[in-house]
Structure 1
């Protein structure tokens, strides 16, 4: 095959229902005559960083406390130190262990559904699209996800593989969700938010927990055992297995054969005295699943796609060690090292072997009553080896990236208990975009005891992935007569990485308020305006006629599209949480999110365009209403009603659905639950694949039984 140049004008190529409703109605209409609340104790893990701050006792039950009281222990992701969320200068939401235990979720992405500002959509077998405040895709590139401070961000593809997070949900102490930039502390690629999954200290998970969940389409088994060997040494070991039939098509037929995987891990905690704490943890996981998608037919005389069922596999291993030392009443520090290794194959043969080695040192110094200083330095080494196919090619099959970074932040008390200023910055240097500076300034003002106001201005960056710098992707063909093909020939599009390019830049403006309304009711409101520049946009860079030997006429058009860094756009929105107790045994939480954007600009024409950005894959409005009921000391009812707005200009319609969990607690430590998910319709679509052609996948209604036994 050979090509010849043509003008570059070609640019366009780029009966169960009734049962579900009855169960939901039962949960929402429970009457006071049923019973009163009963305490259900749950241990709380130790903080991830030492502090002299007083620790409130663990609440007896989720229903017993207000949102502000629940969040008192829960903020370590905003400031890299323990801090009351009511005192934080960011939009923070915490999923507590009690909420996890009472949820209908079976995966970590499912736990994030309904969190204000968070967008979750399932789009393939085991595949999720998760983002915060826009730009959602399967590989969201501006969201940092961590487990106990260990990054889950895969730099090669600039995103997170959510299906690899398979630790037992019962081992999770809390999930901290920070909406908005976290880059001044956590660095690049956290420009839209940070999700920190914090597992229990091994001393707080004594005994054995068995979770067995089986249903119409999914089966899960996990086993976790923890114990104290001595007063100073404790451990926790776990194993998990997950199997599901996958998603379905519009008629309810399976489109993938199955997803199956498992993981096992060990955590050791050693605290020889009041000044030192050591943690060592490791995990191994693997999985296998099928993903249907369409590949471009390589026969140029039969243009179009053919359906392909790819068998995908992954194996991962990670190790983390951390030493935390309290040097004095005013000074503490920590040293952390981690190693991650991933082998993963997708798309019918595209494989990546990715390795990360990371070393971080952090120091917290309460210099005076006025200044509270955090400081840190770090080094990171990333290496990958690529296996390519005719559809995915790379300029270099192996690459090593190097990072050196440091941060400093000062909490300045201007008026004790009333006014605080936080200023800081992260400085990084890497071998492909050079120096990156990410400062922020944040202010907290308390005009009254029960009211706090905060505001922030931040600069954050998102560095380009190896795909954007080095790959050539040939996934798309537009046939004659299709809306984006004005020619009589098929148009073959190749997306090309651009090695010499800049990082994406965000200037974020945020403000919010938290109000204790009294009577165990609270209100948390946050708003933001984001100004993006140097965004990755797909711009045609050239086109050619395609000829084959011994044929005198062209058989197609080849269009080259570059991953350029010339896009600009603005987004804005807000989130609100209202939570409280309607009665002593009934707690309600209402979350609302709004997202909006200004049309981006096409750099080639200057005209407004939404096709250059995945902004349309974020819903304008989301609403989640959660109700938790305690019926005596043995029964609980937990229901969540969710509404998610349309995506992709209505091609993915809005949907409303509900999840329900009915739990009965036995006196021997066992819990038995009946769980229903997506109850309001037989199936619905939540997302579709943006990066390559794939058939639409629907999430079906599911019912399962869950047995948890602790001994």
Structure 2
């Protein structure tokens, strides 16, 4: 696939859409049911009526893709930038920003946020949901603070799992392949007079990338097991109860990246792996007051536990109280001194303030007197985060032309880490939201909404959205949208209290078996929210007689007050001093050519311009996907997908995925055998220079039995 200039391509698509031969009589037929989405405004709407751009990845696409992770599925979303920090850490951003900190997209599982509380990221590999349990994924492509609060700055991904009522019977699946791929899944669904239940267990393994930039083995495999229980129960004609329990346990290898600061020290470490445990529960009470009025109350609790301990070696002077005070005076001066101790031993401390030079000379004297000896100890970089969430939502049809959704939300977040926070931090958030939809006439749909949010750590914000949709008919609509959004700085950015207590020191440091490393970092404590202003023009159409869905979007997004500096212990300079602008166009086309063939195309042109070059790293100017799904009959089906982008963090990406499957009837049971081949067309690392495979292709096979 070649990527051309954006505007001519968009003009061609728009011309195609509104040409009379294509529309024909289909334009005026509206008696067929329309597919509906929920994520955009919390109201059920047809795609043509949504105040923004939507992508729906349905169960057919999920299965045909052969994807093993949610992040891989998001390659099917136009404008979604999918990369890898390492083999078990995906980096996903909509339109871009930093390649390593994915902090500006809300991710929901059945409406429950999995955006971590303290470190403000999404652990894509550790989400406790199996791919086989996912019914569809709805992606709102654009800011949606109005509906989901701060952190829904650039997009919302809502993963919707299969209803227990649609999960009856037994399913078992195994997957094996190259690169250590070893997955399994088993589920049992059943029902009774007033309810349904689905229990699923699953596991996943692979070896990650093969080698780093030097050709050495890359330590980034993953091993995990998951548990999921979903129950839906009807209480009476008006009330029902849905509840879920989810858990995940596993380990993620981490490349050992610590390098001693002082010369002449050899690090003895080789393992900084993470033991990851996730727990989640939710319960939702639904009340249908009458056909035009419904209410729900939902509560959820989540806990993330990341245990990471490792051993490091450095010079004894690393624990010098004088060196610690010097670091607090001037980190740059201290780092210069520490990295060149031998050079300054004979000449004295480098030029600086009198206080800096005095402390520097004391440190040099300690170095001369033996504090250069190698000393090793244990480092605990573990973190635990918890979230408790309670939400009430009311949906009311005030008339045939007026609908209102409103609600309130309370959330409590807590983060606990000796290393990152020197203890515990917590935060509370209150929200009130509303969205009004008014059908002013047969063709005009006006929508407006706002979210008021108050957090203990940051303060209050009010974010609005207004949209005008012109419905040519119920299946074809033009839209103009203006929205504002915010992202609150997370606990780590704003209030980090970062230092390492090293234990089991051998030999002891200044006579102690436990001591603090000299590098200490404090967050500013007064960061403001990031702000986005977004303008969008678009078209969405469903050509029923052709089986064709089309969406075209033009966008202009501006972010101010961006927090984008490196968030590292020795270079932590968090501030609201940056900004970014994203402009461009996106197109997606989903065409059921016949009952046997389906074609799907996406393309995005994103022009990113940021004050900090890091905020352009994860923005590919051109990206897209193409897919062909085919049912050959006699139980055979196949899928062919292409994914490409011209540069994520400087590295291009092109891959072709092929899946071939055969379904075999075995009495009352069905067996499906499938083979998936992924072939890279480029020969570049993935996102970062160390992310390399020895072979450009990977093959894995699966067998699934249903009865």
What range is the shorter-chain TM-score in? 0.7 to 0.9
Asked if structure 1 preserves the Cα contact closer than 8 Å seen for 2:252 and 2:276, the reply is: no
CA contact (8 A) 1:585 1:629 kept: yes
8 Å CA contact 2:47, 2:540 repeated in 1: no
Query: What is the alpha-carbon distance in structure 2 between the residues aligned to residue 467 and residue 326 of structure 1?
Result: 41
Q: 1:146 aligns with which of 108, 112, 123?
A: 108
Q: Distance in 1 between matches of 2:426 and 2:646?
A: 41
Q: Specify the alignment match of 1:171 in structure 2.
A: 133
**Could you tell me how far apart the structure 2 residues matched to 1:126 and 1:258 are?**
6
Alpha carbons of 1:267 and 1:449: their partners in 2 closer, same or farther (altered >3 Å)? closer
Name the residue aligned to 1:456: 481
Q: Secondary structure at the match of 2:73?
A: helix
The match for 1:643 is 644
Asked if the contact 2:675/2:701 (under 8 Å) is kept, the reply is: yes
**Correspondent of 1:502 among 528, 543, 550:** 528
Is 1:277 matched with 2:278?
Answer: no
Out of 64, 74, 78, the residue aligned to residue 116 of structure 1 is 78
> Which of 161, 175, 192 is the equivalent residue of 2:154?
192
Shift of 1:702: 1.2
User: Quick one: distance in 1 between partners of 2:523 and 2:214?
Assistant: 38
SS of the residue 2:638 aligns to: strand
Q: In structure 2, what is the Cα distance between the partners aligned to 1:450 and 1:208?
A: 38
Q: Which residue of 1 aligns with 2:414?
A: 383
Query: Could you say what secondary structure the match of 1:367 adopts?
Result: strand
CA shift, 1:493, in A, is 9.4
2:584/2:605 contact within 8 Å kept: yes
Cα root mean square deviation, aligned: 2.7
Q: Equivalents in 2 of 1:447, 1:318: separation in Å? A: 44
Partner of 1:707: 703
Closer, same or farther: CA 699–615 of 1 in aligned 2, 3 Å: farther
Is the CA contact (8 Å cut-off) linking 1:130 and 1:138 kept in structure 2? no
Give 5+ residue unaligned stretches, structure 1. 1-67, 476-491, 541-557, 601-609, 689-693
The answer for the alignment partner of 1:370 in structure 2 is 401
Corresponding position of 1:468: 493
Matched, 1:566 2:577: yes
Find the aligned partners of 2:381 and 2:499 in 1 and give their Cα distance: 13
CA offsets 1:676-701 (integer angstroms, 9 cap, x no match): 123546x642212xxxxx94444852
Find the aligned partners of 2:402 and 2:594 in 1 and give their Cα distance.
Answer: 43
Match of 1:236 in 2: 198
Of 401, 407, 415 in structure 1, the residue corresponding to residue 433 of structure 2 is 407
The yes-or-no answer on 1:438 pairing with 2:463 is yes
Aligned twin of 2:386: 355
| Structure-2 separation of matches of 1:265 and 1:579 | 32
SS in structure 2 at match of 1:110: helix
C-alpha distance in 2, partners of 1:209/1:242? 16
1:661 counterpart residue number = 659
**CA shift at 1:631, angstroms?**
0.5
| Alpha-carbon spacing, 1:206–1:154, altered in 2? closer, same or farther (3 Å) | same
1:583–1:149 distance in 2 versus 1, CA, 3 Å: closer
| Secondary structure at the counterpart of residue 365 of structure 1 | strand
Aligned position for 1:529 = 556
Please give the per-residue CA displacement for 1:449-505, whole angstroms capped at 9, x wherever unaligned.
Answer: 653101211111101111211226699xxxxxxxxxxxxxxxx99875211110111
Question: Are the equivalent residues in 2 in contact too, given 1:244–1:258 (CA < 8 A)?
Answer: yes
Match of 2:218 among 217, 235, 255: 255
CA contact (8 A) 1:493 1:560 kept: no
What SS is found at the alignment partner of 1:141? coil
Q: Is the 8 A contact 2:128 2:228 kept in 1?
A: no
Please name the residue that 2:315 is paired with.
none
1:685 aligns with 685
Whole-angstrom distance in 1 between the partners of 2:554 and 2:521: 36
Q: 1:704 to 1:371 in 2, by over 3 A?
A: same
Distance 1:667 1:312 in 2: 43
CA contact (8 A) 2:103 2:120 kept: yes
Q: 1:294 corresponds to which residue?
A: 257
Structure 2 vs 1, CA of residues 537 and 705 (structure 1 numbering), >3 Å: closer, same or farther? closer
| Offset, 1:72 | 3.9
Mark the CA change 1:466 to 1:698 in structure 2 (over 3 Å): closer, same or farther: farther
Aligned to 2:508: none
SS at match of 2:577: strand
Shift of residue 386, structure 1, vs aligned partner: 0.3
- Matches of 2:641 and 2:156, distance apart in 1: 24
CA contact (8 A) 2:479 2:537 kept: yes
1:591 aligns with 2:554: no
8 A contact 2:603–2:624 mirrored in 1: yes
Superposed counterparts of 1:565-644, under 5 Å: 565-600=576-611, 610-611=612-613, 613-644=614-645
Q: Deviation string for 1:641-685 (max 9, x for gaps)?
A: 11111133x3x2x1221001000000121100011123546x642
Question: Which 5+ residue runs of structure 2 have no aligned equivalent?
Answer: 1-29, 311-379, 501-517
State the partner residue of 1:519.
546
Please identify, of 623-632 and 99-108, the stretch whose mean Cα deviation from structure 2 is larger: 99-108
**Bigger shift: 266-275 or 695-704?**
695-704
Distance of 2:244 and 2:304 partners within structure 1: 17
Change (3 A) 1:614 1:699: farther
CA contact 1:342–1:353 (8 Å) conserved in 2: yes
Aligned partners of 2:232 and 2:241 also within 8 Å: yes
Question: Matched residue of 1:468: which SS?
Answer: helix
**Post-superposition offset of 1:122:** 2.4
Is the 1:293–1:695 Cα contact (8 Å) retained in structure 2?
no
Return the alpha-carbon distance in structure 1 between the equivalents of residues 699 and 432 of structure 2.
Answer: 49
Q: CA deviation at 1:283?
A: 0.9
Give me the whole-angstrom Cα distance separating, in 1, the residues matched to 2:631 and 2:676: 16
- Residue in structure 2 matched with residue 550 of structure 1 by the alignment: none
Q: Secondary structure at the match of 2:398?
A: coil
Q: Which residue of 1 aligns with 2:8?
A: none
Q: 1:561 to 1:313 in 2, by over 3 A?
A: closer
Contact 2:34/2:475, CA 8 A, preserved across alignment = no
1:210 match: 172
CA contact (8 A) 1:335 1:362 kept: yes
CA distance in 2, matches of 1:614, 1:308: 32
CA 1:381–1:581: 2 relative to 1, 3 Å: closer
Q: After superposition, give the CA deviation of every residue in 1:261-294 in whole Å (9 maximum; x if it has no partner).
A: 1111111110133311101110111111211142
Rate the CA distance shift 1:247–1:539 in 2: closer, same or farther, 3 A. Answer: closer
Bigger proportion of residues as helix: 2
1:510-563 Cα shifts (integer Å, max 9, x gaps):
1210133552223211121111111114399xxxxxxxxxxxxxxxxx976520
| Structure 2 counterpart SS, 1:112 | helix
Provide closer, same or farther for how the CA distance between residues 573 and 629 of structure 1 changes in structure 2, counting only shifts above 3 A. same
Q: TM-score, normalised by structure 2?
A: 0.78
Instruction: Tell me the CA shift for residue 115 of structure 1.
Output: 1.4
